[in-house]
Structure 1
Amino acid sequence: MDQGMATGSDNLLSAVVPLMKLLCLTVIGLILAHPRTQIVPRATFKLLSKLVFALFLPCLIFVHLGQSVTVDDVLLWWFVPINVLISTAIGCALGYIVAIVCHPPPQFFRFTIIMTGFGNTGNLPIAIVGSVCHSSDNPFGPDCRRAGIAYVSFAQWVAVILVYTFVYHMMEPPMEYYEIVSEENEIEEEEPISNASRPLLHEAEWPGMVDKETTHSKTPFIARVFMSISGSSQNTFPDIDFSEEGGSTAGPSSPKSLRCFAEPKVVQRMRVVAEQTPIRHILQPPTIASLLALIVGLVPVFKAFVFGYDAPLSFFTDSLEILAGAVVPSVMLILGGMLAEGPNDSALGIRTTIGIVVTRLLVLPLVGIGVVALADKMHLLIEGDQMYRFVLLLQYTTPSAILLGAIASLRNYAVREASALLFWQHICAVVSLSFYIVIYFKLLSYV
């Protein structure tokens, strides 16, 4: 245990005060963006969001991850990205239970699973870590901020890959309800939506996501590939051209070709789906910054040249660090601007909404405590590093990722439901985060 770990009432203050700081920033953003005041227009918040995404956040990741990471650290930190997979898997399992128990409308069954399972593993944890470490008497020691941001950044690439693969396909419009879902959004699509009028939710965490449309992004593509579409559905969707289906050189009389005929078709369909998966978009500024930080940090010659008081490029990294300081206030102001737009009407149902919020914000953190405690007993975690454990616990505690709103818009599926659910989750997260961070501080003080 770190000697600086606070106890008693100091422990309580150390947990609550950082969240109060973040809450103040969020309220300021809400006031500035509220429709009644309009002190700062929505377009300004969108520009700020792009600055965070393309400049401030990459600077933060590069500076803190690059300075902290070494070859030995990569071998020690392996559980951080694995924990993202574990928390997502457990969250999706709980989301499936929520969907079974709460009986959402059938077209939102997969949506319920995703919104329960996929939490915010990037901007919000970085803001919480930055706020916790802001004071000199923080409970995690002098290297609190750098280590915490390095841990969070090290796990971001896993979350990005999950978004562009698993989440992207899970948020596909259900084929049997595709016409219903499309009709609900027809009125909105009659007039082209400009960037200025688009809800801030779609640009709040990953600007430009909704502009990455592919040919089949708004259709139930996987269902079309793997299921036979007949009747009226055939008129709704154009045929998918499998150009290589007839390209086999094996004759029809070949026993081997007859025996293995089904397998190539399955493989072919998997290939078509893989080609339509927008995995190429993972190389965005934050991901590129993470890769550069790892390259520089893992090569001692590069690291000595870029980081350190006597490094030739120290003036450059100092400039990046100044820019990185804008991440936390900017992220919370953007969140306030998003909340100022209020919740949209939702067809999800009150029971399902409450089920997702309670499971995501109250039940999943309890499971996370058990997972991290078990990993600690199995000696999978870094000995004596309380910030390491704190970041692992945060991965179970945050509300659903704001990025899911952009994915919903990209897939044209449950857009209003995502907006409403994210709004209520972030409102309730003020209480749940405060409650669990107090618990985490108490638990970590006795480790």
Structure 2
Amino acid sequence: MKILDLFIAAFIPVLKVLLLTALGLFLALDRIDILGDLARQHLNKVVFFVFNPALVGSSLADHITAEGIGMLWFMPLNILITYIVGSSLGWIVLKTTKAPYDLWGLVLGCCAAGNLGNMLFIIIPAICKERGSPFGDADACYRQGMVYSALSMAIGAIYMWSYVYNIVRIYSSCTNSEGEKLDNSTENITPMEETTEKLSNSRMRPLLPLNGCSAVKDHLNHFELDCSITARKPQVQLLEKIKQCFQTFATKFNLRKLFAPSTIAAIIGFMVGIIPEFRKLLIGEHAPLRVVEGSASLLGEASIPTVTLIVGANLLRGLKGTRIQLSLIIGVIVIRYIALPLLGVGIVKGAIHFGFVKSDPLYQFVLLLQFALPPAVNIGTMTQLFRAGESEYSVIMLWTYALASFSLTFWTTFFMWLVK
């Protein structure tokens, strides 16, 4: 196959992304104000709670089977490698550029997490439908591509809210804790007058009488009663400690975000696809509840254009954003568009050589493409949540997504040539 055909097949999906992104940016202008701040917030909630779960759940339920899931075990490991390698390279950039400490979580998150869901859902189906596609039959390519994209999105969401979320939380809490510690330390100091009042108001009892057996017996009875009460206290304290530990774990690791609607939809999609009884009920032309799966697929189709419009609208903030170190922007771009794709070629080729990855060109292409995607959009949600690096995130997103048109076209062409 000619390189020109591969280039055209790779450029068409990227061009679609650019057109939708430009439309979103246009709709967010102050003169138009269709996708203003309030509209984006409401639209984001609809995507997060409705469109994305419908897309992930319906894609997995419709296309995944018990036989096929065993062959996809390397994808979660591959995505984890992108996160670990990306954050390690980001740490090197932070050390060399001497970036402000409050931006460490943002930079590490942008280097670690790629846009594993939405970009794959746009690129893979579009490539399958192109005439110059190296992946064979368009319908079979589309079905398998939707499975790989849905699985990638679900796994990426789990890693995003367990790995990147805690990185951003730790560095934002470290920078904000110094002032809070000073305030709390002054509040916790009790005045001397209060302590003397507490001492004076405390109960005072006489010492044990030495004479009188009845008094001693009464006291022994009280002593036994006190002992029986205090013996239960460790059990109560143990239960309270376990409860506090669980609450701390749930708060720190944000289990509510970890089990996001897309993750829950992925679990349901796996169950429907793998369990034959559920599959017969919901999937297929003769399934009695096929209208449920059809409605979910219809809702899921709205996810990709909506998210792309929101990304374009958010890029407008980057044009108005504050200044950020140029070296940080260059560092993120070099890691995401040069270092990670090159390392990804070696990792995936090594996995193929040792037999960890099946000989499916489309599957190998998706694994390679996971190393070459722009930063994840959900990092912006985390910066807003912790009030750390919001405007800087918009600037980084502006430059990375502006250069993604060239980078994705090049790497998509190269990866298709590599696996064909």
TM-score range, shorter-chain basis? 0.7 to 0.9
Maintained 8 Å contact 1:62/1:289: yes
Determine the C-alpha separation between the residues in 2 that align with 1:235 and 1:444: 61
1:148 aligned to 139, 145, 148, which one?
Answer: 145
Question: Alpha-carbon deviation of 1:19?
Answer: 1.1
- Decide whether aligned partners of structure 1 residues 310 and 236 sit closer, same or farther in structure 2, where only a CA change above 3 A counts: farther
Question: Structure 1 CA distance, aligned partners of 2:263 and 2:173?
Answer: 33
The root-mean-square deviation of aligned C-alpha atoms, in Å, is 2.9
Distance 1:426 1:236 in 2: 47
Partners in 2 of 1:59 and 1:174 — Cα distance? 33
Answer yes or no: is 1:276 the counterpart of 2:251: yes
Q: 1:63 to 1:179 in 2, by over 3 A?
A: closer
**Matched residues in 1 for 2:299 and 2:244: separation?**
46
Find the residue that maps to 1:287 and give its secondary structure: helix
Deviations 1:234-259 (A, max 9, x none): 438979xxxxxxx879xxxxxxxxxx
SS at 1:401 equivalent: coil
Decide whether aligned partners of structure 1 residues 301 and 175 sit closer, same or farther in structure 2, where only a CA change above 3 A counts: closer
CA contact (8 A) 1:103 1:352 kept: no
Structure 1 residues 368, 346: CA separation in 2 closer, same or farther (over 3 Å shift)?
farther
1:10 aligns with 2:5: yes
Tell me, in whole angstroms, the C-alpha distance in 2 between the residues paired with 1:54 and 1:382.
34
Which of 297, 316, 340 matches 1:340? 316
**Residue 235 of structure 1, aligned match among 178, 185, 196:** 185
1:303 CA drift (Å): 1.0
Query: Corresponding residue for 1:397?
Result: 372
Partner of 1:61: 56
Note if contact 1:64-1:147 (Cα within 8 Å) is conserved in structure 2.
no
- Of 260, 264, 274, which residue of structure 2 is paired with 1:288? 264
Cα deviation for residue 169 of structure 1 reads 2.4
Q: Quick one: structure 1 residues 55 and 268, their matched pair in 2 at CA, closer, same or farther if it must change by over 3 Å?
A: closer
Q: What residue is the counterpart of 2:418 in the other structure?
A: 443
Is the CA contact 1:130–1:328 (under 8 Å) kept in the aligned structure 2? no
Q: Match of 1:320? A: 296
Contact kept? 1:372, 1:392, Cα under 8 Å: yes
Report the secondary structure of 2:363's partner residue: helix
Cα offset, 1:390, TM superposition: 1.8
Kept in 1, the 8 Å contact 2:158–2:263? The answer is no
What SS does the corresponding residue of 2:33 show, helix, strand or coil? coil
Shift of 1:419: 2.2
Q: Report the equivalent of 1:167.
A: 164
Deviation string 1:248-303 (CA, Å, 9 cap, x unpaired) is 79xxxxxxxxxxxxxxxxx9997674242211333332122111110011111221
| Match in the other structure for 1:382 | 358
Q: Distance in 2 between matches of 1:147 and 1:236?
A: 61
Per the TM alignment, residue 403 of structure 1 is displaced from its structure 2 partner at its CA by: 0.7
Are the counterparts in 2 of residues 296 and 303 from structure 1 also a CA contact under 8 Å? yes
Q: Which moved more, 1:156-165 or 1:431-440?
A: 156-165
The structural deviation recorded for 1:72 is 2.1
Q: TM-score scaled to structure 1, two decimals?
A: 0.74
Contact kept, 8 Å, 2:6 with 2:133, in 1: the verdict is: no
Q: What pairs with 1:20-419 in structure 2 (closer than 5 Å)? A: 20-135=15-130, 138-140=133-135, 141=137, 142-172=139-169, 173=171, 177-178=175-176, 232=182, 234-235=184-185, 273-277=248-252, 278-343=254-319, 345-346=321-322, 348-383=324-359, 385-419=360-394
Matched to 2:249, the amino acid is A
Closer, same or farther: CA 46–234 of 1 in aligned 2, 3 Å: closer
Q: Percent same amino acid among aligned pairs? A: 28
* Alpha-carbon distance in structure 2 between the residues aligned to 1:282 and 1:113: 19
TM-score (norm 2): 0.79
Alpha-carbon distance change, 161 to 68 in structure 1, aligned in 2, over 3 angstroms: same
Residue 262 of structure 2 aligns to a residue whose secondary structure is helix
How far residue 151 of structure 1 moved from its aligned partner, in angstroms, is 1.5
Deviates more, 1:427-436 or 1:149-158: 149-158
Q: Structure 1 residues 59 and 137 mapped into 2: Cα distance closer, same or farther (>3 Å)?
A: farther
Aligned partner letter, 2:409: S
CA pair 233-389 structure 1, distance change in 2 beyond 3 A:
farther
**Shift in alpha-carbon separation, 1:40–1:156, aligned structure 2, 3 A:** closer
Supply the distance in 2 between the matched residues of 1:355 and 1:31 (Cα, whole angstroms). 29
Q: Are residues 237 and 387 of structure 1, via their aligned partners in 2, closer, same or farther at CA, if it must alter by over 3 Å?
A: farther
1:216 alignment partner in structure 2: none
AA at the equivalent of 1:377: H
Deviation of 1:149 (Å): 2.3
CA contact (8 A) 1:171 1:408 kept: yes
Q: CA–CA distance in 1 between the matches of 2:79 and 2:401?
A: 20
- Asked if 2 retains the 8 angstrom alpha-carbon contact of 1:297 and 1:303, the reply is yes
Residues 315 and 394 in structure 2, CA contact (< 8 A), matched pair in contact too: no
The change in CA–CA distance for 1:137 and 1:349 in structure 2 (over 3 A counts) is closer
The alignment covers a number of residue pairs equal to: 368
Give, in whole Å, the separation in 1 of the partners of 2:131 and 2:185. Answer: 65
Question: Which residue type is aligned with residue 113 of structure 2?
Answer: F
Contact 1:22-1:131 within 8 A present in 2 as well: no
Larger Cα-atom Rg: 2
What SS does the corresponding residue of 1:171 show, helix, strand or coil? Answer: helix
C-alpha displacement at 1:361, in angstroms?
A: 2.0
> 1: distance between equivalents of 2:324 and 2:188?
30
Is 1:426 matched with 2:420?
no
Deviation at 1:339, TM superposition (A): 1.6
